[in-house]
């Protein structure tokens, strides 16, 4: 890989470095390297898909995450083989995808989806400092529901030992998105097919209290758009 | 990899084969190999995340798909390097994930998510037969909106040439899910923290007609739950 690292763009917008791996090969106009765009997608997405090789073969694992101070944090049981592979230094590609709409064109060929995605590359490392580990685990809880960790029992020493946390520096990768309606062949515009956009939204429903739960919800209980 | 292939279970339910790679290592009670469960998840999910190695390094690409007659079909531009890698025989892991809920426990440790996921393994191959290619492309359109392909212009020969379609036999993999509310430590049950479930649903919004579209929508125009 020929690294063409650019810590920031000409306008000094904080950016991910561009390498041969993150150079946008196709539809480059849909992509960017600005950290602000990357962070906004990471903030909204609830899960990521973590790719790595194990015994030379590819694996893709869905998992929750959080990002704090320029690191993406993942966690799992100490025995989780995916997390262990990452902790042992396996290269990873972490992809985060938000679906925004179905794009229905007059031609089958131009059907598409609106989305926002982030792809990050690198090698993760195990987090050993108990304070950083605790911060990461609480951040993962807060990433599910903002402020939630303040209304929980925090991890015990035993729970910390049972949990493997790894972190990936957010420095190599890119963001990509598609917006808008269908793009058509000019000669298709007169065809009598319906065309347009069907928006997609991941909705949070009404919270369902656990039967024996006695606390008051510490978050806004109305359904909200994620 | 020690393959312990089982085409079907003792009850003769059509199943994916179990191999060392698909043996559920953790929380095996959440998993299964039944084709019906796998197909139901593939039917509902709009995208998959495709993992493969390129020049020895992992990649995870989000993309649309369809499944027909025991094959998972993926498509992209003929120049798409991910699809080309698959067509050239790279091993792949394709993961499909549906999010069903946020599980809020009294302890940070027991926070979780409800989900349904499928993980498939194998080597894909390029689809060269134009009829199968066309069927796959229309199936991908119908997978976005049921019956949609009947209301579109079908792919031209030029469009078929510009598109790479690959197929992966659905025979090695597993499905997994988590359902229900939080699982707690007994000693946490008296804590005054709210606990419960926040459902997640990917909603389809009101279709937005393209300004110049003259057809009538060929699908149910009410917002529907995906």
Look at A142 and B35; give whichever has higher pLDDT: A142
Q: Is A54 helix (H, G, I), strand (E, B) or coil?
A: strand
Tell me the two tokens of residue A41.
Answer: 């997608």
Of A21, A107, A215, the CB nearest to B192: A215
Q: What is the pLDDT of residue B9?
A: 36
Distances (CA, A) of A175 to A11, A170, B161, B179: 18, 12, 29, 32
pTM for the predicted model, two decimal places: 0.89
Provide, as residue numbers in chain B, all residues whose Cβ is less than 8 Å from the Cβ of A148. 104, 111
pLDDT in tens, B148-169: 999 999 999 999 999 999 999 9
Of all residues in chain B, the one with the smallest CA distance to A97 is B62
Of all residues in chain A, the one with the smallest CA distance to B109 is A155
pLDDT in tens, B55-68: 889 999 999 999 99
Distances (CA, A) of A25 to A4, A67, A211: 15, 27, 52
Provide, as residue numbers in chain B, all residues whose Cβ is less than 8 Å from the Cβ of A46. 99, 102, 113, 200
- Given an 8 Å threshold on Cβ–Cβ distance, is B77 in contact with A104? no
pLDDT in tens, B195-204: 999 999 999 9
Of B149, B201, B206, the CB nearest to A205: B201
Burial class (CB in 10 A: 0-12, 13-18, 19+), A175: buried
pLDDT in tens, A57-79: 999 999 999 999 999 999 999 99
- Given an 8 Å threshold on Cβ–Cβ distance, is B159 in contact with A107? yes
A154 pLDDT more than 70: yes
Contacting residues for B143 by C-beta, under 8 A, at least 6 apart: B43, B46, B64, B65, B66
pLDDT in tens, B102-133: 999 999 999 999 999 999 999 999 999 999 99
Query: Which residues 30-89 in chain B show a CB within 8 A of chain A?
Result: 46-47, 49-53, 55, 57-62, 64, 77, 79-81
pLDDT in tens, B173-206: 999 999 999 999 999 999 999 999 999 999 999 9
- Given an 8 Å threshold on Cβ–Cβ distance, is B61 in contact with A95? yes
- Given an 8 Å threshold on Cβ–Cβ distance, is A119 in contact with B206? no
Contact A198, B205 (CB under 8 A): yes
Query: Which residues 169-208 in chain B show a CB within 8 A of chain A?
Result: 181-182, 188-208
Report the complex ipTM. 0.89
Closest alpha carbon to B102 in A143, A86, A103, A106: A143
């Amino acid at each position: 890989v020929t690294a063409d690292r650019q810590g920031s763009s000409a306008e000094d917008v904080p950016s991910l470095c561009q390498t041969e791996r993150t150079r946008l090969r196709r539809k480059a106009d849909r992509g960017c390297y600005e950290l602000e765009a990357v962070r906004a997608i990471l903030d909204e997405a609830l899960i990521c898909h973590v790719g790595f090789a194990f015994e030379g073969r590819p694996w893709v694992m869905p998992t929750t995450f959080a990002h704090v101070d320029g690191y993406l944090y993942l966690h799992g049981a100490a025995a989780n083989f995916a997390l262990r592979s990452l902790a042992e230094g396996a290269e990873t590609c972490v992809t985060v995808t938000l679906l925004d709409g179905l794009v229905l064109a007059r031609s089958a060929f131009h059907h598409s989806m609106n989305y926002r995605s982030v792809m990050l590359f690198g090698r993760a490392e195990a987090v050993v400092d108990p304070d950083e580990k605790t911060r990461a685990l609480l951040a993962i809880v807060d990433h599910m529901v903002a402020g939630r960790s303040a209304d929980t029992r925090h991890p015990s020493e035993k729970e910390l030992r049972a949990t493997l946390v790894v972190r990936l520096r957010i420095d190599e990768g890119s963001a990509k998105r598609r917006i808008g309606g269908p793009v058509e062949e000019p000669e298709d515009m007169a065809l009598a097919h319906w065309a347009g956009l069907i928006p997609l939204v991941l909705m949070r429903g009404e919270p369902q209290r656990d039967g024996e739960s006695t606390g008051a919800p510490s978050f806004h209980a109305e359904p909200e758009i994620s």
